[in-house]
Structure 1
Amino acid sequence: MRSVTVIVPAHNEEEGLPATLESLSRQTVPADEVIVVDDGSTDRTGEVAAGHGVTVLRPPRNLGSKAKAQNYALPHCDTDLVLAVDADTVLAPDYIERIGPAFDDPGVVVAAGNVQTRFTRTVWERGRSVEYLFGFHWQRPIQNRANSPMVCSGCCSAFRRDVLVASGGFPERTIVEDMDFTWSRQIEGRRAVYVGDAVAWAADPETLRYLRKQVWRWMAGFCQNVRLHLGPLVTRKPLLALWILLALVEILTAPLWWATPFVLAATTEQSLASALAWWVAAEVLLTAPPLVYAAHRRRLPVLGVLLNIPCVYPNKVVNLYYAWKALAVELLLVPLRLSRGLTVYEKGRASTPCPAG
């Protein structure tokens, strides 16, 4: 088994960090070292980490982004693999055991597992749980079979250390380093893979305020990467470029789909109630089968999963708003030099925003 160093970037994470470190201590294949980067925390993050017997690094000041915190730890890693884990993410006990064999293929430089939600207490968390069940049991496996994953999730990705170092470390030029690295390496002809049996649970937004900050960061980062990489992807990784273009088309056409019942009611003899019933039935037919499959894979109660479907729509409204905002800002205003785009890394729970540089 290859040697592994785990890097956990942490800014004001005293509450979530213990569960993360405990999950790392229970791995069936233990990491050679766990490094927590206490990145300018104003709470007990460093003290909590030290209490778990891991290596704690403290930069002289807040570094400003997750990628920079990870890069601060990178010179301290001398193992074959580097596993980046968010400070509020819990790994299944066999996560390292299952992710490691992906690197038996010398072409693989990054691999990530199946991310699910840790909590389903609020409507926002329940909506995210549906999104993850659908995405990680339907979309990701298809992309992986096509050898063109859209992203290796930054909360639990493993990297081949020599390639990571040779490429300059975790990318700092965009607000989402995981997507930037995934696309950049595939453009070079290297492989990124999804390992569906390696499971991690992330603490997702429990409030609208946190959700808005996270989704804005994700959507802006996606569009930043589109701006940087779409041209090379079209010529060097056309199938990945196709997934990206389909995502852009989905963003642009989503309002039309949502308006369909009202258009039908206004332009045909069909009543609004009938048009809405048709629309809801279509949504259920498109969504339910993958969710039933995912529920069986995760050994979750099927009825409970299906009852969470309505919760996904408030999330979709937030997603769509910030997706359109990202299109306007990152793909229109930034090229026109009318905006700098999103340059502040703000996780949501952290007490202060951090300039990404």
Structure 2
Amino acid sequence: MHTITVIVPAHNEEEGLPATLESLASQTVPPDRVLVVDDASTDRTGEVAASHGVTVLRPPRNLGSKAKAQNYALPQCDTDLVLAVDADTVLAPDYIETVLPVFDDPGVSVAAGTVRTRHTRTLWERGRSTEYLFGFHWHRPIQARANSPMVCSGCCSVFRRDDLMAFGGFPERTIVEDMDYTWSQQIAGRRAVYVSDAVALAADPEDLTYLRKQVWRWMAGFCQNVRLHLGRLLLHKPLLAVWVLLALLEILTAPLWWATPFVITATTDQPPALAFLWWAGAELLLTTPPLIYAALRRKLPLTGVLLNIPCVYATKAVNLVYAWKALIVELLLVPLHLSRGLTVYEKGRADYRPAPAGGVS
């Protein structure tokens, strides 16, 4: 029988935290303990957490990143498993029950489920919802079948505590600790597992300001991990290296694909409208089948899922801008010692006051 402690890092999360803690209290297999790290909040985060009967830990100062907040709580964990949950993420009632069995395999070090968006109110949330549905019902299952998932999502990952402690805790050397740990454990010969039936609902960017900050953190963190791990991935986990290289290739070639209608118009006698229709048709052929499967798999209204497809191009445009910025900064300027790269963990909400995170190597 596995035991599990939940760590919830929280900075100024009084609004979203209650739903997170209520979802933990409603688990069909309840956690043994819930630790909320009130990371120097200036709102009522600590009071809200205490009112839910969980243990509240408050560092003497703002620690500056989610990984550091989680590491602050880690010495308080004496269970064999640790579940890290973001303070704005809601777990399905059977999340813990569904994930626990994979740890019967002693080779499994980390596991996480499917992430979906909690809200689809704005253009950006709808675009992110489409990205999640596509990624978790196309890319992630393929990677799982190959035993080489790209990342166990940090908003809802379960860790084997012994492995986590032996590694030195949640990694602070990059700006995205979830990808860093997922790659590191697979390089070391341990397993990372995607559990598709376990569902977590994350609060995603509702406006462009929040989205830009989140995407910059994600893209910079991806490139930091490429810089740190790619050589060892090629040697010790070549299939995972393939997914990483394909992701880099996609970033490099995306501008060419987006420019295709204009190239066709400029180099042939086809009218612009026809060139765009050809391009749009190819896009739909590639993206629609996984989205239809996702809608059926998750029992979502198919019409709503399909109507959200145009929104994804807004988020894709933001992704592309910051992916190229990350390539230039993290894979070119940092090795040339012309930049330190992204070292400040900034979630993006207006009330977040970031402090410098640990150095990135």
Is TM more than 0.5 here? Answer: yes
Total equivalences in the alignment? 357
Residue equivalent to 2:354: 353
Partner of 1:12: 12
Does 2:174 align with 1:163?
no
Unaligned runs of 5+ residues in structure 1 are none
Distance 1:95 1:54 in 2: 19
Residue 131 of structure 2: aligned partner: 131
Superposed CA deviations along residues 266-294 of structure 1, whole A, max 9, x for unmatched, are 10111111000000011111111100000
1:7-40: per-residue Cα shift (whole Å, max 9, x none)?
0000000000000000000000000000000001
Instruction: Note the C-alpha offset of 1:354.
Output: 2.2
- Partners of 2:151 and 2:266 lie apart in 1 by 41
Mapping of 1:31-50 within 5 angstroms? 31-50=31-50
Aligned residue in 2 for 1:102:
102
Give the structure-2-normalised TM-score: 0.98
1:140-170 per-residue CA deviation (whole Å, 9 max, x = no partner) reads 1110000000000000000000110011000
Matches within 5 A, 1:63-78: 63-78=63-78
Confirm or deny that 1:87 pairs with 2:75.
no
Query: In structure 1, what is the Cα distance between the partners aligned to 2:353 and 2:76?
Result: 27
Alignment of 1:208-219 (within 5 A): 208-219=208-219
What's the offset of the Cα at 1:351?
2.6
Question: Structure 1 runs of 4+ off > 4 angstroms?
Answer: none
CA distance in 1, matches of 2:355, 2:87: 17
Counterpart in the other structure of 1:185: 185
Partners of 2:279 and 2:207 lie apart in 1 by 28
Runs (5+) with no aligned partner, structure 2: none
TM-score (norm 1): 0.99
- The 2-side partners of 1:52 and 1:353 are apart by 26
- In structure 2, the residue matched to 1:298 is 298
Deviations 1:300-346 (A, max 9, x none): 11111000000000100100000000000000000000000000000
2:29 match: secondary structure: coil
What amino acid is aligned across from residue 354 of structure 2 in structure 1?
A: P
TM superposition shift of 1:238:
0.4
In the aligned structure 2, how far is the partner of 1:129 from the partner of 1:256? 25
The whole-number CA distance in structure 1 between the counterparts of 2:79 and 2:323 is 38
1:116 to 2:116 alignment: yes
SS state at 1:344 partner: coil
Shift of 1:355: 1.1
Output the amino acid matched with 2:355.
Answer: C
Counterpart for residue 236 of structure 1? 236
Return the alpha-carbon distance in structure 2 between the equivalents of residues 290 and 224 of structure 1: 30
2:340 alignment partner, SS class: coil
Q: CA deviation at 1:353?
A: 1.8
Q: Deviations over 1:60-94 (max 9, x none)?
A: 00011000000000000000100000000000000
Code of the aligned partner of 1:144 = A
Return the offset for 1:137: 1.0
Partners of 2:331 and 2:139 in 1: CA distance: 25
* CA RMSD, Structure 1 to Structure 2 (Å): 0.5
Secondary structure at 1:355 match in 2: coil
Q: Taking every aligned residue pair, what percent have the same amino acid on both sides?
A: 81
Residue pairs, 1:265-284, within 5 angstroms: 265-284=265-284
Deviations 1:239-288 (A, max 9, x none): 00000000000000000000001100110111111000000011111111
**Is 1:328–2:328 an aligned residue pair?**
yes
Q: Distance in 2 between matches of 1:146 and 1:204?
A: 29
Letter in 2 for 1:316: K
Q: Distance in 1 between matches of 2:57 and 2:227?
A: 34
- Secondary structure of residue in 1 paired with 2:240: helix
